[in-house]
């Protein structure tokens, strides 16, 4: 089978590998759609792990099941997540499933979603694989995992109906945050970015107001929000974290959603931001099985229209081009790139 092997953002090679053999409790999936995540292009995070086959936003068709698998059957349409928790450790038992060591280091696909076929391990079959309804396309189903991450982030930040929400950074993650917040009844939704095309997409996803991301935005937020800053702030770009921290109202919450540069530090004076303000600074990583289940249901219902976020659909042979579009989205006017390994 063909696989796209990652060595760097500018060096992905199509290589032949054997189709994985599955065990008695595993599934072999033909990959029909696999999204390129922004995290796939973080070179400093992967430099000591290459070469490897990436791809974790996947959907496809079951072509073989192990003899002990009863939950799924051959020919079934599924979406699966690569990271799942153990459900028994200290973190899981305290509700922090995505801090689980098993989730972060112990579960993955074989070899990865940028391949024609993947082996889904037993633990992922058990709690990270979901049937895809007939009315949901493979490409839409591939958004299950990234939307689950967004759902978990907003739950952790306690975003609630009526909140004034600021999303700083209107790339793919920010746009999903806007779509989810609109679906769940947020009040005033404000999007900030430096790219006009992204701000236009933010309006299409449900933002009420769009602003250029700079230090002047604080006053604009106050003017639009009865003299107040935002109740909840989601930072979806590592270079905009300081803008987000300075945009939250007393008693509010800042969610650091996107990763930051390798050696970045929190750009804030503690007394200026946190003393006497009751501001909460929180973070999030990945999504739990429950988040994935809800994400797929929201995709099915159309509550979050993920399909409008797709700008590029490519075959496996053009994955180098796809990675360049994700690594340099402004240059290529790209938002979401879907790889279709069977084409």
Same domain, 44 and 64: yes
Structure tokens, 101: 């060591």
Same domain, 140 and 28: yes
- Is residue 231 situated within a structural domain? yes
Given a cut of 90, is residue 268 above it in pLDDT? no
Given a cut of 90, is residue 279 above it in pLDDT? yes
Same domain, 179 and 255: yes
Instruction: Tell me the three state secondary structure of residue 336.
Output: strand
195: CATH: 3.40.50.720
User: Residue 264 — very low, low, confident or very high, per pLDDT cuts 50/70/90?
Assistant: confident
Same domain, 273 and 291: no
Q: Indicate the residue among 257, 283, 309 that finishes a domain.
A: 283
Nearest to 268 by CA among 258, 251, 254, 257: 254
- Residue 254 domain boundaries: 158-283
10: CATH: 3.90.180.10
- Is residue 58 situated within a structural domain? yes
Q: Indicate the residue among 235, 250, 283 that finishes a domain.
A: 283
- Is residue 151 situated within a structural domain? no
- Is residue 213 situated within a structural domain? yes
Q: Indicate the residue among 238, 266, 283 that finishes a domain.
A: 283
For the segment 283-299, the average pLDDT, to the nearest whole number, is 97
Spatial separation of the C-alpha atoms in residues 19 and 185, rounded to whole Å: 45
Q: Is the four-CA dihedral 310, 316, 318, 323 of positive or negative sign? A: positive
- Is residue 153 situated within a structural domain? no
Please write the tens of the pLDDT for every residue from 78-98.
999 999 999 999 999 999 999
With tokens 């159309």, the residue in question is: 302
- Is residue 223 situated within a structural domain? yes
Same domain, 67 and 180: no
Given a cut of 80, is residue 293 above it in pLDDT? yes
Of 311 and 46, which is predicted with more confidence? 311
Same domain, 183 and 113: no
The predicted model scores a pTM of 0.95
Spatial separation of the C-alpha atoms in residues 256 and 284, rounded to whole Å: 7
- Exposed / middle / buried, residue 148 (Cβ in 10 Å: 0-12, 13-18, 19+): buried
Do β-strands 27-35 and 336-340 pair in parallel, antiparallel, or remain unpaired? Answer: antiparallel
Same domain, 30 and 119: yes
Do β-strands 230-235 and 165-168 pair in parallel, antiparallel, or remain unpaired? Answer: parallel
The pLDDT score that the predictor gives to residue 271 is 85
Given a cut of 90, is residue 270 above it in pLDDT? no
Given a cut of 90, is residue 298 above it in pLDDT? yes
Same domain, 108 and 119: yes
Same domain, 185 and 265: yes
Same domain, 249 and 322: no
- Is residue 152 situated within a structural domain? no
Same domain, 318 and 255: no
- Is residue 82 situated within a structural domain? yes
Please write the tens of the pLDDT for every residue from 303-330.
999 999 999 999 999 999 999 999 998 8
Given a cut of 80, is residue 267 above it in pLDDT? no
Nearest to 179 by CA among 298, 299, 305: 305
Helices (H), 52-143: 90-93, 101, 122-127, 138-141
Same domain, 82 and 35: yes
The pLDDT score that the predictor gives to residue 175 is 98
Tally of structural domains, the chain: 2
Q: Please state, as a whole number, how many other Cβ atoms lie within 10 Å of the Cβ of residue 141.
A: 28
């Amino acid at each position: 089978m063909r696989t796209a092997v990652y060595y760097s953002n500018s060096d992905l090679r199509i290589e032949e590998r054997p189709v994985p053999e599955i065990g008695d409790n595993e599934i072999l999936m033909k990959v029909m759609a696999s999204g390129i995540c922004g995290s796939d292009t973080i070179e400093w995070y992967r430099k000591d792990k290459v070469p490897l086959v990436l791809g974790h936003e996947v959907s496809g068709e079951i072509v073989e099941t192990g003899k002990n698998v009863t939950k799924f059957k051959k020919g079934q349409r599924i979406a699966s997540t690569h990271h799942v928790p153990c459900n028994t450790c200290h973190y899981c038992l305290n509700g922090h499933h995505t801090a689980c060591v098993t989730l972060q280091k112990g579960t993955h696909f074989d070899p990865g979603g940028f391949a024609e076929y993947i082996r889904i391990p037993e633990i992922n079959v058990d709690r990270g694989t979901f049937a895809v309804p007939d009315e949901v396309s493979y490409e839409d189903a591939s958004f299950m995992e990234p939307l689950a991450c967004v759902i978990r982030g907003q739950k952790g930040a306690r975003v609630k109906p009526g909140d004034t929400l600021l999303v700083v950074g209107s790339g793919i993650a920010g746009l999903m945050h806007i779509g989810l917040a609109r679906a769940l009844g947020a009040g005033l939704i404000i999007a900030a970015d430096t790219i006009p095309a992204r701000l236009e997409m933010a309006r299409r996803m449900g933002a009420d107001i769009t602003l250029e991301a700079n230090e002047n935005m604080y006053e604009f937020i106050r003017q639009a929000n009865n003299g107040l800053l935002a109740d909840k702030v989601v930072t979806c770009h590592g270079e905009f974290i300081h803008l987000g921290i300075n945009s939250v109202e007393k008693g509010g919450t800042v969610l650091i959603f996107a990763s930051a540069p390798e050696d970045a530090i929190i750009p804030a004076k503690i007394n200026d931001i946190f003393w006497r303000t009751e501001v909460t600074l929180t973070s999030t990583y990945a999504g739990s099985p429950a988040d994935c289940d809800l994400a797929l249901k929201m995709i099915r219902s159309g509550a979050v229209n993920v399909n409008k976020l797709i700008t590029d659909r490519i075959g496996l042979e053009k994955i180098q081009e796809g990675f360049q579009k994700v690594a340099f989205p402004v240059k290529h006017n790209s938002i979401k790139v879907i790889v279709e390994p069977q084409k």
